[in-house]
Structure 1
Amino acid sequence: MAPDKSYLPMFIAKVTGSVVATQKVAAMTGQKLLIVEPFRLDGESRKKLVTTGRTFVAVDPLGAGVGQMVLITQGSSARLTPETKEMPIDTVVIGIVDQVHVEKKCVFKSDDA
């Protein structure tokens, strides 16, 4: 059964670093790899984003930089973009976040927004 392309679980994450791997499978040649740390809404104040304490390596076809907040997707959904459909990956950057609003409050705004 083909994956349901209407369902892409997305998460907000902060780019905290990068990975350099000179030896990798051919499908990954030339791909930028980032360390990303997922964030969630602070359950107490609901006024800011806080880290989940986890990290992942993500393929970045968009050119995000360290310190930026990004949208990521994981699992089989990570291979549903045209850029990643032939790659053996589990996490991909699918957007660069400018702002996040929850309950009419801005809980994140990038320096560029």
Structure 2
Amino acid sequence: MQLARVIGNVVATRKVDKIMRYKLLVVEPIDLTGKGSGKHMVAIDAVQAGPGEIVFIVEGSSARMAVPEKDVPIDTAIIAIVDAIEHDGRIVFRKTVQEFAAV
């Protein structure tokens, strides 16, 4: 699993049947300080995430296991919306604030 920030969405009016019910979101992996990696990817949204939210993503076979349908042609999936992150006994991120504290 990897932390990421939702930075956009993808509109695709034609998709294969197995992903029709899912939103496609653009995510950027981040570190514990909230700094982006510069790598952007499209992910299936399995949890109804929104713009700017901090999420957990999985890739590869783990992404395919994140949805109930079998043999879904996906490589990246959003599997959780992060409410808080604790590091070394300190809260470094809280969803209600949407800011990262210094690590």
TM-score by length of 1: 0.79
Q: Is structure 2 residue 79 aligned with structure 1 residue 94? A: yes
Query: Does structure 2 retain, via aligned residues, the 8 Å contact 1:15–1:34?
Result: yes
- Cα displacement string for residues 7-36 of structure 1 (whole angstroms, at most 9, x for unaligned residues): xxx001000110010112111112110001
Q: Give 1:53-92 correspondences, 5 Å limit.
A: 53-92=38-77
Q: Give 1:1-113 correspondences, 5 Å limit.
A: 10-41=1-32, 48-111=33-96
Give the fraction of aligned pairs with identical amino acids, expressed as a percent.
43
Query: Does structure 2 retain, via aligned residues, the 8 Å contact 1:98–1:112?
Result: no
Higher mean C-alpha displacement, 80-89 vs 67-76: 80-89
Q: What is the root-mean-square deviation in Å for CA atoms of aligned residues?
A: 1.7
- How many residues are treated as equivalent by the alignment? 98
The gaps in structure 1 that reach 5 residues or longer are 1-9, 42-47
Distance 1:84 1:99, change over 3 A: farther
The gaps in structure 2 that reach 5 residues or longer are 99-103
* SS of residue in 2 equivalent to 1:77: helix
